[in-house]
Amino acid sequence: MAKILTIEDDELISGDIVRTLKTRGFAVDVARTGRDGMAKVMTGDYDLVTLDRMLPDLDGLTIVTTMRGVGMETPVLVMSAMTEVDQRIQGLRAGGDDYLTKPFSPDEMIVRIEVLLRRRQRGGTAETMLRNGALELDLVKRKVMYRERRLELQPTEFRVLEFMMRHAGQVLTRTMIFEAVWGCRFDPGTNLIDVHVGRLRKKVDQPGERPLIRTIRGSGYLFG
């Protein structure tokens, strides 16, 4: 069972986070101040840390930079109402492994946590090839093959497919795809996701075979 430390000063938010994590089988500790969080995280007894940036006694990123400065590689999911692109970049550059903006979906939080934990379990080994049945995506050569036939994808289509393949079997919302691929906050008025997924489907889904990309009405997309 993975053990998670949640550093969050808002009692309602931390309560929601803890309940969600516990229902998914995680063990959870809570710190309500930065200093308490720093003391707990330095025990090295956690598999992952969720961290609010705006703590009452210090900037949450101070905890991340301190961890990285002493060689701690525990994954950190930064969770903050600070949503500007430069603020998210600052969080990642400080040593955060992912950045989730508030308010967020509990399901999205769980997906991001699961991804970070899987990455840690692989011991940081970089994947160079993603596979799903006869479909192969080569991250080094930047090419996609289906039964030894190369599929010609545009750069953005490649990134969308990579994100979907890394999260195969999970329902991906338009917000998740947009923020992962375009790197900025999702605009509900844009149809960029639908356009790119539609183009990708025409290239990836093969005639006579079960579609790899499916629309989950009211939720998003499911790959695999």
Note the pLDDT of residue 68: 85
Instruction: Give 120 or 62, the one with higher predicted confidence.
Output: 62
Note the pLDDT of residue 18: 94
For range 19-23, the mean pLDDT:
92
The tens digit of pLDDT for each residue in 92-142 reads 888 899 999 888 889 889 998 998 888 776 654 445 788 888 899 988 788
Mean pLDDT of the chain: 87
Note the pLDDT of residue 127: 57
pTM assigned to the model = 0.56
Instruction: Give 183 or 49, the one with higher predicted confidence.
Output: 49
**Kind plus residue range of the DSSP H or E element containing 121:** helix 106-121
Structure tokens at 39: 């003391």
For residues 69 and 27, the answer to whether their CB atoms sit within 8 Å is no
For range 180-193, the mean pLDDT:
75
Angstrom distance (rounded) from CA 170 to CA 222: 6
Angstrom distance (rounded) from CA 63 to CA 53: 9
Note the pLDDT of residue 2: 87
Question: Which of 20-29, 31-40, 44-53, 81-90 has the lowest average pLDDT?
Answer: 81-90
Angstrom distance (rounded) from CA 21 to CA 68: 25
The tens digit of pLDDT for each residue in 70-99 reads 778 899 999 988 888 888 888 888 889 999
Note the pLDDT of residue 125: 45
Angstrom distance (rounded) from CA 50 to CA 8: 8
Structure tokens at 173: 């919302």
Task: Give 191-196 contacts, CB < 8 A, sequence gap 24+.
Answer: 196/156, 196/157, 196/160
Sign of CA dihedral 131, 140, 214, 117: positive
Structure tokens at 8: 């969050």
Q: Is 171 exposed, middle or buried (0-12, 13-18, 19+ CB in 10 A)?
A: middle
Note the pLDDT of residue 124: 47
The phi, psi pair for 49, rounded to 5°, reads -125, 130
Note the pLDDT of residue 7: 96
The tens digit of pLDDT for each residue in 194-207 reads 999 999 999 998 88
Kindly report the length of the chain.
224
Note the pLDDT of residue 129: 83
